[in-house]
Structure 1
Amino acid sequence: MHLSRATDIALRVLMLAAAQRRQLTIDELAAALNAPRNHVAKIVQQLRHSGWLTTTRGRGGGISLPDTALRTSVGRIVRDFEGVAEVIDCETPPCPLRAACRLRGALRTAQEAFFASLDEVVLQDLIAPPTGSTLLTLT
Structure 2
Amino acid sequence: MRLTSFTDYGLRMLMRMGSAPERAFSTAELAQEFQLSRNHLTKIMQKLAGAGLVQTRRGGGGGARLARPPEEIRLGDIVRLLEEGQALVECFEPSGGDCTIDGGCRLKSRLRVAEMGFIDNLNRSTLADIALTPIE
Instruction: Output the TM-score relative to the length of structure 1.
Output: 0.82
Q: How many residues align?
A: 131
Q: What are the Cα deviations for residues 86-105 of structure 1, in whole angstroms up to 9, with x where unaligned? A: 5223332231x334332212
Alignment check: 8 A CA contact 1:86 1:108 kept: no
Match of 1:94 in 2: 99
Report the residue type matching 2:99 in the other structure. P
Alpha-carbon distance in 1 for matches of 2:86, 2:37: 27
Once the two structures are superposed, the pairs formed by residues 1-139 of structure 1 within 5 Å of their partners are 1-21=1-21, 22-83=23-84, 87-90=88-91, 91-95=96-100, 97-127=101-131, 132-133=132-133, 135-136=134-135
TM-score normalised by structure 2 residue count: 0.84
RMSD over equivalenced CA pairs, Å: 2.0
Letter in 2 for 1:15: M
Shift in CA distance, 45/84, structure 1 to aligned 2, threshold 3 Å = closer
Question: Are the structure 2 counterparts of residues 36 and 85 from structure 1 closer, same or farther at C-alpha, using a change threshold of 3 Å?
Answer: closer
- CA shift at 1:107, angstroms? 1.4
Unaligned residue ranges in structure 2 (runs of 5+): none
Percentage of identical aligned residues = 33
CA contact (8 A) 1:52 1:69 kept: no
For structure 1, list consecutive stretches of 5 or more residues without a partner in the other structure.
none
